[in-house]
Structure 1
Amino acid sequence: MALPLSSSILPLLSVTLFIGILTFIYYKLLRNYLHKWFVMKPIPEVAPTYLFVGNALQLKTNAGEFFRQVSEFTQDFRNAPLIKLWLGPQAFVILFHAENVEVIVSSSVHITKSELYDFLHPWLGTGLLTSTGQKWRQRRRMLTPTFHFSILTEFLEVMNEQAEILVENLQKQAGKGRFNCFNHITLCALDIICETAMGKKVYAQSDSDSKYVKSVYKMTEIISRRQRMPWFWPALIYYYFGEGKEHDKTLHVLHSFTYKVIHERAETMSSIESDNENEDGSKKRRAFLDMLLQTTDEDGNPMSHQDIQEEVDTFMFEGHDTTAAAMNWAVHLIGSHPEVQKKVHEELHEVMGKSVRPFTVDDLKKLKYLECVIKEALRLFPSVPFFARVLLQDCQINGFKVPKGVNVLIVPYALHRDPRYFPEPEEFRPERFLSENSVGRPPYAYIPFSAGPRNCIGQRFAMMEEKVVLASILRNFTVESCQTREELIPVGDLILRPENGIWIKLEKNSV
């Protein structure tokens, strides 16, 4: 007996439809890819580029070597307005001139982060760093008041306390020869961010083996490695052949910790609101998390616990490693330039005298030369070595057409070395940032905290923390660097850090 026509032809129609859909998708993707390929032909390329593969096989997967490659590209093409690079099927243009960077960074249209940031989504969700469009705009409006200077000053007590613990730990190293200070300073930054962000002490400076502490570092390494390996971008391949399982295991530790803290804090919020004083009459400290639990949108709706977790995780990621790296680079540079260190010591003595009291907001305002030192350290070694946006529409950059969908890679490390605005760019000269020496410098020639609509919301917090910690170190010690600039070997992970740490000697100050 013959089968009904429908039962014999349906499987064939299903297969034909499936193949048709795949062909259509492939055709759309291929057409889009080839369109970018031919439109971008006139833009100088970093190396011979191969169809579909791009430059992926020519790029190093090691973080340090990859960063050095990108640095060499920008040096080799210093006179070119922009250069292109293909990472597998993804097209990038690299910008390192202020006038070209301004086109993208100042735009209210090109605010969408590159797809490379998608690998942060499992950890950070779509918080302030990774979201775009209406969600980003709404979240930025909601969070901006929590970073008001008057609120940041409440965190100063925590910064002073943790800096004091750091000094106590460094006292044990003083006069005993060279040692690596990188972890000491980084753990101090982690203690500061945990207490100010979550109201939770993790005692990282006394317990560096903490599971949460280790997981923060591990996750940044895992994400950075995946970003540089296009063959691991598809989830299926990553979980079968890459670090997918290790990624999820680490993620579980991070999310479990912040989830628990948020829910515990939410349960105690009512008592915090009704009783703002401790038993001794002092004011109870607020954390960033407390403010998030009280934040509402334009319609009066509070943030969900998921929304709050996104922002707490983002603040932990952005506000810890970046600041720690900046302070470490600054310590090396200060220890390498005795004349700079002498000026910082003189300024500290002028502001603080022989006092050992904690720093106040007024004290920090007076440390103007130290601020120049921090800014110059961030010029030479910006904490975020590069960041990327994706174009939402065709764009003209310095006479070149860059089509919609292309990723724009902005390289502050190269931008900050433009000799037009920073003569002898490799020299460490804090005086560059005195107000009289900054006149006429384009605002987009120096962007350690990004710029434009998506500038770093926490930059004042970062500057305050760096001033407190560095001033605390230099009030107590004289620093001598034990590495040359060439021995540092910057590694461009998610954060710019030295490959072999920061090795110094400390001597206690006589006064």
Structure 2
Amino acid sequence: MMDLNWYAVLVAVIALLLWIIDRKTKQLIELPGPRPLPFVGNILHLTNIKEVLPKFLMFMRTYGDNYKLKFGNKTFIQICDAELVKKVVNSNNFNEKSEFYSFLHSWLGTGLLTSSGQKWQNHRKIITPTFHFQILENFIPTFATKSDILVEKLSAFCGKGDFDISQHILLCTLDIICETAMGTSMNIQNDSSSPYVKAVHNMREIFMRRTLSPVKQFQIFYQFSKDYKLEKESLDILHSTTMNVIRKRKELLDNTVDTVPDRKTAFLDTLLNNGLDLEDIKNEVDTFMFEGHDTTGSGLYFILYCLSIYPNIQEMVYEEQQCIYGKTSNKTTLQNLLSMNYLEKVIKESMRLYPPVPTFARKIINDYHYNSNVLAKGGTAAIFSFGIHRNSRYFPNPEEFDPERFTVENSMTRPQYAYIPFSAGPRNCIGQKFAMLEMKVVISKLVRNYKFLPCPGFKPVLIPDIVLKSDNGIRLKIVKRE
């Protein structure tokens, strides 16, 4: 009974504090939005994660391009306005990540995704040269080899009805990131039940459940939840995998007489050779292992879904590949990849409709005035790329799949920050050139070998699981090309 009374008092005190904070900040927030309830805010609008993105779009169309939400005592300014995006991503007033990213610290520590200030600047400066085009060119053979394995694995499904291709894609992208950036061959595509992929899935879901829970946002309550136990189990897998990757690479470098590192593994070599301590190296490796396979994987399987339901566009992609490779040459080169102009437009249009990161958030360091509104200090500026990309102000008939939006002429008519699949500003995705080359190689290999067909009645159920996911997978059919 004493424990129950203590718990009730604690809850009452927290509720009072939330009410005081809510009253204090309400006077500063002038943007419209759905009416929040006391203490829980708008969380009850978003209890079903499958409804989050549709409701966010509905709010955009109801309240305007910028609107406010409350998650517990946390104020979110949801931004779907390209002009405000430009100001946010380029302003020192928003150069810190939202406090919600702290839910990822147990996994990613303070790597590039979650760090800020001088540490972020130093690490970004160290890592940036490893993504130079001359270095990326050396990764292309590995992209091609791993894509060939994927082609072989998918042959088992050829002509045998629909199947979920998403997990096969994720295993391929994890295989690629391990061997290219980390210098470790893990033969992941031959392990269809990869514990690493499952652990990443668990951590993404836990992050979203914490974000949308007024109780689990507080560590004092979260540590008694089932998610906390699941997080610990998942972290054991993730961190042991990371340390194994670092150990193998360090042993190889220590035993190599040649002092010039293999340029194909420049990322991890750079970390090991720049005086970073082991914890910082682990954080960056965890970050790139996650972002390097999960975001690219999301981009890839939504591209394949789009190709399956737009056969005319798929055939145009195939025809371009035939023009580039003909009937004899099969070697993947940088020159070939750079000449895939139509495929690049298809990739960009797919990432418009299905951006791998549907939203990214920054902390509002000081009150910020925009037009007649105030973005209050301590709140979160949430840049809703999924909504910006479906904003009819920038993309007429936004639900229509049209690669011609990305001709040079059409792209010049849009605001620069209306299309941000890789974020924008100084904190944009450092690996976007890597990702684009990888996606081109994988799609090129797959389209030249298979024709992708739709699964009747299937439509992906989109969820913002840190990375954009389909809750019901990506189901399609494949047949062998002649």
Q: What TM-score do you get using the length of structure 1 for normalisation?
A: 0.87
The answer to whether structure 1 residue 313 and structure 2 residue 292 are counterparts is no
Distance in 2 separating the partners of 1:102 and 1:67: 22
Distance in 1 separating the partners of 2:293 and 2:60: 28
1:222-237 pair list within 5 angstroms = 222-237=206-221
Q: Deviations over 1:373-423 (max 9, x none)?
A: 000000001011111111111111232011211111111111011222211
Give the conservation status (yes or no) of the 8 Å contact 1:100–1:398: no
Distance in 2 separating the partners of 1:286 and 1:118: 29
The answer to whether structure 1 residue 507 and structure 2 residue 479 are counterparts is yes
Q: Deviations over 1:432-457 (max 9, x none)?
A: 11112212211100000000111000
Q: What amino acid is the match of 2:31?
A: I
Distance in 1 separating the partners of 2:273 and 2:456: 48
Aligned to 1:63: 49
Q: What amino acid is the match of 2:127?
A: L
Distance in 1 separating the partners of 2:224 and 2:164: 38
Q: 1:53 to 1:389 in 2, by over 3 A?
A: same
Q: What amino acid is the match of 1:45?
A: G
Aligned to 2:8: none
Q: C-alpha root-mean-square deviation of aligned residues, in Å?
A: 2.1
The answer to whether structure 1 residue 439 and structure 2 residue 425 are counterparts is no
Give the conservation status (yes or no) of the 8 Å contact 1:262–1:305: no
Give the conservation status (yes or no) of the 8 Å contact 1:98–1:442: yes
Alpha-carbon offset, residue 288 of structure 1: 2.1
Q: What amino acid is the match of 1:115?
A: E
Alpha-carbon offset, residue 276 of structure 1: 6.3
Q: Which residue of the other structure, out of 124, 130, 138, is the alignment partner of 2:108? A: 124
Distance in 2 separating the partners of 1:134 and 1:270: 30
| Aligned partner of residue 477 in structure 2, secondary structure | strand
Q: Which residue of the other structure, out of 292, 298, 301, is the alignment partner of 2:271? A: 292
Q: Deviations over 1:287-313 (max 9, x none)?
A: 521222123xxxxxx111111111100
Quick check: which has more Rg, 1 or 2?
Answer: 1
| Aligned partner of residue 190 in structure 2, secondary structure | coil
Gaps of at least 5 residues in structure 1 are 1-22, 278-282, 296-301
Give the conservation status (yes or no) of the 8 Å contact 2:97–2:363: yes
Aligned to 1:101: 85
| Aligned partner of residue 187 in structure 1, secondary structure | helix
Alpha-carbon offset, residue 264 of structure 1: 3.0
Gaps of at least 5 residues in structure 2 are 1-12
Q: What TM-score do you get using the length of structure 2 for normalisation?
A: 0.92
Q: 1:338 to 1:219 in 2, by over 3 A?
A: same
Q: Deviations over 1:311-358 (max 9, x none)?
A: 100001111111111111111111111221121111101111113523
1:327-476 pair list within 5 angstroms = 327-355=300-328, 357-476=330-449
Alpha-carbon offset, residue 144 of structure 1: 0.8
Aligned to 1:74: 60
Distance in 1 separating the partners of 2:329 and 2:221: 57
Alpha-carbon offset, residue 33 of structure 1: 4.0
Q: Deviations over 1:140-175 (max 9, x none)?
A: 111111111111122112111110000011122222
Distance in 2 separating the partners of 1:448 and 1:284: 28
Q: 1:483 to 1:408 in 2, by over 3 A?
A: farther
Alpha-carbon offset, residue 219 of structure 1: 1.9
Q: 1:224 to 1:196 in 2, by over 3 A?
A: farther
Aligned to 2:37: 50
Give the conservation status (yes or no) of the 8 Å contact 2:182–2:265: no
Alpha-carbon offset, residue 85 of structure 1: 0.7
Q: 1:191 to 1:372 in 2, by over 3 A?
A: same
Distance in 1 separating the partners of 2:257 and 2:390: 49
Distance in 2 separating the partners of 1:473 and 1:417: 28
Give the conservation status (yes or no) of the 8 Å contact 2:93–2:365: yes
- Matched residues, percent identical? 43
